Amino acid sequence: MEGDLIEELDVSLEATLAQLRGEATIDVLKVQQAIIRATHQFMFERGLVQVMPLMLSPITDPLNHGVVDAAISYAGCRWSLTKSMIFHKQLALLNPDLEALYIVSPNVRLEFADRAFTGRHLFEFTQVDFEFRDKEGAFVRSFMEDLLRYLFAAVQRDLPEVLAKYRPQGLCQIGELEIFRTEDLEAQYGPEYEHVKSKEALLPFWLLNHRREFYDKEDPTKPGTYLNYDLIWPEGFGEGLSGAERENEYHQIRKRMEETGANQEAFKHYLEVAKKGLPHSAGAGFGVERMARFICRVKDINDVALFQRRPGMPALF
């Protein structure tokens, strides 16, 4: 199967250079720049402290789907390329002077080739990741709505000529976004509920309660459901952000690790910290390329990358 897919992709020098010279590619770069620039400003105004990203760590996000493992040995330690900085966000909040933080974080996830042509997967991308001590999901969702309003206004103000090309009617108005639960949408639309709902929606919406990684908090009032939330882009663009309240109690983390089959030996130092006490926190992360993809209505995110990072595919540069 992998062989078939590689043949579908033109990785000749000619095709690579044609992509490098693409007009839409530069428009997308400008939109990403506007997003990042306004994100920094917004985070500064709201008092979130910027933490620098790490690219290699002894522990990283186990993710709730398989990817090719990317790790190296160095200094007697096994280092994984960062899939997300979820654990570092939690650990950083142990510092009493830090109440809220954000990271513009490169993530490497060597996705399998079955994601090569989804239109929204790269095998390295940039996530804006943020976390608040002692806050709950509703606070994070409202924060994200404010951020979105701020970012859309910035793109409209700073790049009117770019926006006129891709969204002549302008960007959608962000108010309080609608909230749905996975179990309700699944009952209504069947197993492809997220895609179907995203396609028919005209505004981004929240989708609550996904069964996934052990660090998303289980609802203590309703075991088997989870205090997590995704922001879904409308018009079929799909997932744009994932977040959650976090598990921070040792026994509950152990229970959830057992349920998800996490490698507890790899997390032994994290578990030691959890035993002493991890802060209660909530946060989220959104993909910058996916937000730009939505704004510019790009069919395939890799077609407008300066340098393609298409899952399971080779590249020249």
Q: Which residues bind Mg ion (CB under 5 A)?
A: 242
Q: Which does 127 bind (CB under 5 to 8 A by kind): Mg ion, ligand AMP, none?
A: ligand AMP
Closest to Mg ion by CB, 31 vs 244, is 244
d(Cα 75, Cα 111) in Å, to the nearest integer? Answer: 27
The two three-digit tokens of residue 313, written as one number: 């595919």
Among 141, 285, 298, 304, interactor with ligand AMP by CB under 6 A: 285
**27 binding ligand AMP? (CB under 6 A):** no
The two three-digit tokens of residue 71, written as one number: 């790790």
Taken in order 30, 31, 36, 42, the sign of the CA dihedral is positive
For the chain, what percentages of helix, strand and coil (3-state, to nearest 5) are there? 40, 20, 40
**289 binding ligand AMP? (CB under 6 A):** yes
**238 binding ligand AMP? (CB under 6 A):** no
**132 binding ligand AMP? (CB under 6 A):** no
Shortest distance, CB of residue 73 to ligand AMP, whole angstroms?
Answer: 25
Shortest distance, CB of residue 287 to ligand AMP, whole angstroms?
Answer: 3
> Which of 178, 203, 181 is closest to 193 using CA atoms?
181
> Which of 42, 147, 141, 46 is closest to 100 using CA atoms?
46
Place of tokens 């009032």: 221
**287 binding ligand AMP? (CB under 6 A):** yes
Q: How many CA atoms, within 13 angstroms, populate the side-chain half-sphere of residue 53?
A: 18
Residue number, nearest CB to ligand AMP: 287
Shortest distance, CB of residue 41 to ligand AMP, whole angstroms?
Answer: 21
What phi and psi, each to the nearest 5 degrees, are found at residue 234?
-80, -170
Helix, strand counts (H, E) of the chain: 11, 11
Closest to ligand AMP by CB, 218 vs 289, is 289
d(Cα 284, Cα 138) in Å, to the nearest integer? Answer: 12
Q: Which stretch binds ligand AMP (CB under 6 A): 31-39, 158-166, 172-180, 233-241?
A: 233-241
**233 binding ligand AMP? (CB under 6 A):** no
**90 binding ligand AMP? (CB under 6 A):** no
Q: Which stretch binds ligand AMP (CB under 6 A): 98-106, 168-176, 249-257, 281-289?
A: 281-289
Specify the 3-state DSSP secondary structure of 43: helix
Q: Which does 302 bind (CB under 5 to 8 A by kind): Mg ion, ligand AMP, none?
A: none
**229 binding ligand AMP? (CB under 6 A):** no
CB 286 within 8 A of CB 241: yes
Binding residues for ligand AMP, rule: CB under 6 A, are 84, 109, 111, 121-122, 125, 127, 239-242, 285-287, 289-290
